[in-house]
Amino acid sequence: MIEIYSPTELQRAKASGRFIATVLQSLQERAKVGTNLLEIDRWTSEMIAEAGARSCYVDYDPSFGDGPFGHFICTSVNDAVLHGMPYDYALQDGDLLTLDLAASIQGIVADAAVSFIVGTSSDPSDSRMIETTRRALDAGIAAAIPGARIGDISHAVGSVLAAAGYQINTDFGGHGVGSTMHQDPHISNTGRPGRGYKLRPGLLLAIEPWVMLDTAELITDPDGWTLRSATGARTAHSEHTIAITEDGPVILTI
Ligand code: MG
């Protein structure tokens, strides 16, 4: 399913996007050495309730997961990269944490993710991975203009990741959003320009480059959800939801 939103509806989408951005910013400020992932989940749940928003995760039960997710945010630490299920773990200095959050307000979903280092010590290769996924995201967004195609976004994202020397996994990528979290079109993190669905004003897209330091292969954690790098290497992920408008892409989750 692909949904196209009117300019009035896009104003509602902006409220969802702002909410997601505000929560992620707040959590990033509160996540310190010693913070438990379950506290982050609880804070998220409280902010969702206060805003009258609706979680996309708590009841989420897709074919690739193991039963309803049961939590409000994905917390992926170090070698975990996608769908990190919160568990009883206190963050340590130098942990690389990815928070990925999707929720809807007034029926429109916004979805964003951010990776950052907890505490003070940091490995230059972590910073480089995070920075590369941000640049890939910027490039993907810049390519998301009316009349361009999904392949143009994929190509822009993939070119930045590949030029930095990372392998690209094509099992999970970006996606359309709207009344539900995962919609068509799928946005691979690599691809050929000029191919795929043609972008038009009113389309909402979540673009999400992610990489693992030395592999493109994932393994599933025994929790049935968390996806980790097959080599145990660390990982990074950056995501925004954007709206395609007549004037070009507008970032909603900012
Ligand atoms: Mg997401």
Cα of 198 vs its chain's centroid, Å: 22
Q: Which residue's structure tokens are 């568990």?
A: 87
- Return the number of other C-beta atoms located less than 10 Å from residue 25's C-beta: 12
Q: Indicate whether 230 belongs to any domain.
A: yes
pLDDT at 86 over 90: yes
Q: What is the domain count for the chain?
A: 1
Distance in Å, CA 146 to ligand 1 centroid: 23
CATH number of the domain encompassing residue 242: 3.90.230.10
Q: Which residue's structure tokens are 């799928």?
A: 186
Distance in Å, CA 103 to ligand 1 centroid: 10
DSSP single-letter state for residue 199 = P
Predicted pLDDT at 122: 81
pLDDT at 49 over 90: yes
**Calpha distance 118→94 (Å, rounded):** 5
As beta bridge partners, residue 203 has 4
Predicted pLDDT at 64: 81
Distance in Å, CA 244 to ligand 1 centroid: 18
Distance in Å, CA 109 to ligand 1 centroid: 10
* pLDDT (mean) for 93-122: 96
Distance in Å, CA 15 to ligand 1 centroid: 17
Distance in Å, CA 93 to ligand 1 centroid: 25
Q: Indicate whether 127 belongs to any domain.
A: yes
Distance in Å, CA 240 to ligand 1 centroid: 8
Q: Indicate whether 101 belongs to any domain.
A: yes
Q: Indicate whether 104 belongs to any domain.
A: yes
pLDDT at 42 over 90: yes
Distance in Å, CA 42 to ligand 1 centroid: 18
SS (H, E, C) the chain: CCCECCHHHHHHHHHHHHHHHHHHHHHHHHCCCCCEHHHHHHHHHHHHHHHCCEECCCCCCCCCCCCCCCCCCEEEECCEEECCCCCCCECCCCCEEEEEEEEEECCEEEEEEEEEECCCCCCHHHHHHHHHHHHHHHHHHHCCCCCCEHHHHHHHHHHHHHHCCCCCCCCCCEEECCCCCCEEEEECCCCCCCCCCECCCCEEEEECCEEECCCCCEEECCCCCCEEECCCCCEEECEEEEEEECCEEEECCC
Distance in Å, CA 207 to ligand 1 centroid: 9
**Which region among 76-80, 120-124, 146-150 has the lowest average model confidence (pLDDT)?**
120-124
**Which region among 25-29, 65-69, 90-94, 116-120 has the lowest average model confidence (pLDDT)?**
65-69
Q: Is 128 exposed, middle or buried (0-12, 13-18, 19+ CB in 10 A)?
A: middle
Asked if 150 and 185 touch (Cβ cutoff 8 Å), the reply is: yes
Radius of gyration of the chain (CA): 17
* pLDDT (mean) for 171-178: 97
Predicted pLDDT at 1: 86
Q: Indicate whether 37 belongs to any domain.
A: yes
Q: Indicate whether 148 belongs to any domain.
A: yes
Distance in Å, CA 239 to ligand 1 centroid: 6
Predicted pLDDT at 99: 98
* pLDDT (mean) for 174-202: 97
Q: Indicate whether 63 belongs to any domain.
A: yes
Q: Indicate whether 2 belongs to any domain.
A: no
Q: Which domain holds residue 223?
A: 7-251
